[in-house]
Structure 1
Amino acid sequence: MIDKIIKYQNDSEKNFEQKKNIKTIINYIIAFILFLLSTIISAFTFPLRFIYNKTIRRNSDSKIIHLNARNIDSVLKKEKLVLIDFWAEWCGPCLMMNSTMEKFATESNGLRITKVNADLNWKLINKFKIKGLPQFILMKNGEEIKRHAGAMTIFELTKFCDESK
């Protein structure tokens, strides 16, 4: 379901950029409303999600590495190909990507999936010149090779990362 929403939003934006007619304008407006609603819901549910994540849910089986200023350099030196997902708790599209990223991490071979919480890692946000969330940076041998702003489906993530192997 989440993949379908993300695909709808991405397709609506692409179609709107290519051709402006009543249909593409309406789809773009609906996609924008979905974006706003997801962000509002994320902001208002943050306290509940925080409590749930800290007290009830222990995601120890995740293959995703959470990066910060202390561990990023060692991960980038150790791993050949790294996908960094810059996200925040209040960002609706970022939260929609959580299950997609978990699934992508279990299916990816030869690629280390990582996340950076933008609210807790301002030094990294400045270092990587992050302007919007979610933002994905693909690193090869410690060097940035490409980036993408906005949510992606599993198919789009796979295409984004496969082109660089």
Structure 2
Amino acid sequence: MYTANSLRDKIIHFQNTSEQHFQKQKNLPNFFKLSLAYLSFFLSTFLAAFRLPFLWLKRLLPSSIASAKEQAVLQVNTQNIKQVLQDNEWVVLDFWAAWCGPCMMMEPALESFAQRNPDIAAGKIDADQNAELLKRYKVKGLPQILLFHQGKEVKRHAGALSEHELEAFVQQEMSKISQAV
């Protein structure tokens, strides 16, 4: 049973389920829900574009001002990705961009996940600054979540996930791998 913790989670869940329902059964009510989901997607992208100048200003501020939630999420790039994957048994990487609405909607979910799961490394990769990593991992759309176990990719998801969906995404694969061992 899904329970949303915030309006953001409810919107992400609505977008994901609307698409799934329309794929299963193409009818007018599902088309209407899918249209609303796309409308909310475009609205979130517009809001992300509005937020972009403020994010650039934040980057200019000293890093010591970052919140505890932001510090729980690693900033991964071409220079440190190898070390992050070697040093941690489980790693969740979020490929994102500042102009991407769904990426901005997912940001709090990743921060909360990182705080609640200190044994799993959670990192963000800025797609605009790390094009080489997008090519290396064949990332075609944003946001894209990749899950690594012992340095090897074991699962990926394209699109935003709510806190609950991100937790389920990771725990399902961890359970599957631990049962296989």
TM-score, normalised to structure 1, is 0.95
Cα distance in 2 between the residues matched to 1:160 and 1:94: 17
Structure 1: gaps of 5 or more residues: none
Instruction: From 17, 28, 31, give the equivalent of 2:37.
Output: 31
Instruction: From 142, 152, 164, give the equivalent of 1:143.
Output: 152
Cα distance in 2 between the residues matched to 1:45 and 1:77: 34
Deviation at 1:45, TM superposition (A): 2.7
Instruction: From 14, 23, 36, give the equivalent of 2:20.
Output: 14
1:54-106 CA distance string (max 9 Å, x none): 33882252211110111000110010000000000000000011111111111
Q: Residue 47 in 1 paired to residue 53 in 2?
A: yes
Partner in structure 2 of residue 122 of structure 1: 131
1:126-156 CA distance string (max 9 Å, x none): 1001000000000001000010000011111
Cα distance in 1 between the residues matched to 2:164 and 2:55: 27
Cα distance in 2 between the residues matched to 1:23 and 1:53: 44
Cα distance in 2 between the residues matched to 1:69 and 1:154: 27
Q: Residue 70 in 1 paired to residue 76 in 2?
A: no
Q: Which consecutive segments of 4 or more residues in structure 1 shift more than 6 A?
A: none
Q: How does 1:86-97 map to 2 (within 5 A)?
A: 86-97=95-106
In percent, how many aligned pairs have the same letter?
Answer: 38
The structure in which a higher percent of residues are helix is 2
Aligned length: 165
TM-score, normalised to structure 2, is 0.86
Structure 2: gaps of 5 or more residues: 1-6, 175-181
Structure 2 counterpart SS, 1:120? coil
Structure 1 counterpart SS, 2:154? strand
Partner in structure 2 of residue 160 of structure 1: 169
Deviation at 1:52, TM superposition (A): 3.7
Partner in structure 2 of residue 111 of structure 1: 120
Over aligned residues, Cα RMSD in angstroms? 1.5
Instruction: From 11, 27, 51, give the equivalent of 1:5.
Output: 11
